[in-house]
Every structure is written in C-alpha cells, then in structure tokens.
Amino acid sequence: MNDDKAKLLRSLAIDRTGASAAGGEANDRRRYGVWPWLGLAAAGVAAVVAIYLWSGAPAPDRASPVNARVSPTAQPQPAPPLATAASRDRGDLSASGYVVAQRKATVAAEVTGKVVEVFVDEGMSVKEGQVVARLDATLAEKDLELSQSRAEAAEAAIGAITADLQDATRILSRVQTLSQRNFATDADLTKAQARVGVLTAQLKQAQSQFLTAQIDAKRNASVLEKHQIRAPFAGVVVDRSAQPGEMISPLSVGGFTRTGICTIVDMDSIEVEVDVNEAFIGRVKAGGAVNAVLDAYPDWTIPASVIAIVPTANREKATVRVRIRFDQRDPRILPDMAVKVTFLRDANAGAAATTQSTAAN
C-alpha cells in the first residue's frame, strides 16, 4: 500500500530538467526566428511597389479605401444627364383638385320671422322663383291693411276737397262778374279768391298724402311678399337648414336664430378647380384638352377642357389656379368631389418640342 502511494506521488512530480531544456529552445527560436520573416516581408512589399510603379497605374485615392480595391477592368459609370427644359416638357402634366359649383347659394329670408312651412328637402330639384319656405306673416298682413286704409282715406279726402274747390271756383266766377257790374264789393271778391286758394292747397296736400299712402301700401305688400322665400335660380337642394317653428333672420342675432333656409346648387355650373405648380403653368393653355378622373369612379375618364387660368399665384404654395369645364354633364358628378386631371398635349406641340430637343442636342 505504501509502495503504491510512493509510485503515485513520483508520477505526479514535475520534471524540472526537461522544462528548462524546452524553454531554452523556445527562447532560441524567438531570438533567431523573427528576423528572417521580417526580411521576407520587406522584400515582398518592395517587389509590389516596384511592379506598381513599372505598370504606370495612377495612385489610389487614399481618402477612399474602397476605390483602392476596385478592379482595374471595371468601367466608370456615366453621370446622369441634367434635366433640361425640353426633357421637362416631355409627357402630360397632371394635377389634382375638386369639383366646384359656380352658382351655389344659401337661400335666406330678407326679414325676421318664424318659419311656418318648409316645402323642400335635400335632393329635391327646384325651379327659379319656386317657394321653398313660408314665414309667419300676420303682422305684415295687418300693416298692409292699415296702409291700404290710409290710402283709401286720402283718396276720399281728395274727392271731397275737389268738390269744394269746384264750388268755390264757381262762386269766385260769379263774384267777379258782379264786381265788374258793381253789384259785389271788393271784400266779397277777396273772400272768394281766398277760399279757392285754400281749397287748392288742401287738394295738393290730400294728393300728397294719397301718394304717400300708396307708397306705404306697396312697401308693406313687398314686405309681405318677402315672407314667401323663393329659389333664386333653378337647381338642386343640397342642404336643408331650417325647420318649422324656428326663427330666421337676415342677420345672426342670437344662438337660436338661423340665417338660411336651404342651400341650392346649379348643377349646370359645375366645373373643376385645380392648383398647378407655377413652374409648369406655361404648359397649360386656355381651351386645351383635359382628361378628368373622379376618385369615386377611377375607371371613368371624363373629357374636359380648360376654361381659364386665374391670373394670380398663391405665394405660399407656389401654385396657379386653373378652371376646367366638363365636356359632358352627368348626374354622378357632384360638388366637392376629388378629381385628378391630366393636361393633354396635341400632336403638333409634341412634334415641335421633339424637333427643338433634337436640334439642341
């Protein structure tokens, strides 16, 4: 047992003599093996530099290490050509905008009153002058009756004064005849003349009062007519604002007073308004052909044409507004729809632009 332990301990002991010999050999390799390798590396670098200088290749760009690794056979890519006016003119110009109605009105009353009836609803077609609503006209009717009564009273006064004036004129004629024959005194003649003058003035006053009463009656009749709210033009009702029982006024006088009855749009006045970048506005001409496509119907191309170019630019957006008309009317085209338009170029203009571009090149 003890012999086995001794053998085991001897087997675990480190051989110092072998380690020293091995360490000496490693030190010798480190001392004498590095210099030959360094010499070989320097010779290789010198050979590469010599070959490079002998070939006459340009020096690589030190600022870009990627360029130093580019193959000598790679061909440089040509720079893209700059955009010119001719190249910018090629193709059709597109823009986006909205369908608008040139004739669109919110129908309102010219007098303040309570809505009694509304005769229209959204989507209903109306004619010019058609009654769309009626206001309470009780007071207006009474005012008209009163003014008409005053006119009748003034007319009756004119009749009475006219009769008195005719009688006074006959009396004056007789007094003048008697005065010439010395059968009437000067006092009688003066009295008859004064009565004729007074009655003449009273007649003029009655006539003026009658004229005033007539004007007042016409005014009250016009006010009464304004309680019937009518459509200013033929169109389609797109919005109904007021309901029976609400107060309506031409001016907003409170939170519970409306200013409009309904909104009417003339569908025959529908057109398109788009904003075109001012850099390309020279390609848009009045009367030019246009293709319009509604966002609601992307597969439907509507022929159109340019009405006019609004002679002002938007400073903030650098755009110019262009008005476009539809060549055909369709009930599917509604106000405020989004639309995209393409300004078409005719064949002659395209050929001229191509010729100019070729000549310039």
pLDDT score recorded for residue 264: 94
282, two tokens: 């020279």
Residues of the chain with pLDDT under 50: 18-26, 28-32, 57-90, 347-361
What is the structure's pLDDT at 225?
93
What's residue 76's pLDDT?
A: 46
pLDDT (tens digit per residue) in 40-50: 666 776 766 56
With beta carbons less than 8 A apart as the criterion, state whether 243 and 216 touch: no
Closest CA to 114 of 248, 209, 278: 248
Report pLDDT for 257: 65
pLDDT given for residue 302 in this prediction: 94
**The predicted structure's pLDDT at residue 116:** 93
Q: By C-alpha distance, which of 291, 287, 309 is closest to 299?
A: 291
According to the model, what pLDDT value does residue 360 have? 40
* 174/184 Cα distance (integer angstroms): 9
The four Cα atoms 234, 236, 240, 241 give a dihedral, to 10 degrees, of: -50
Q: Say what the pLDDT of residue 353 is.
A: 39
pLDDT at 77: 45
pTM metric for this prediction: 0.57
Q: What confidence score (pLDDT) does residue 251 get?
A: 75
The CA distance from 125 to 121, in Å, is 9
Identify the pLDDT of residue 253.
56
Q: What's the confidence (pLDDT) of residue 62?
A: 44
- Per-residue model confidence (pLDDT) at position 187: 86
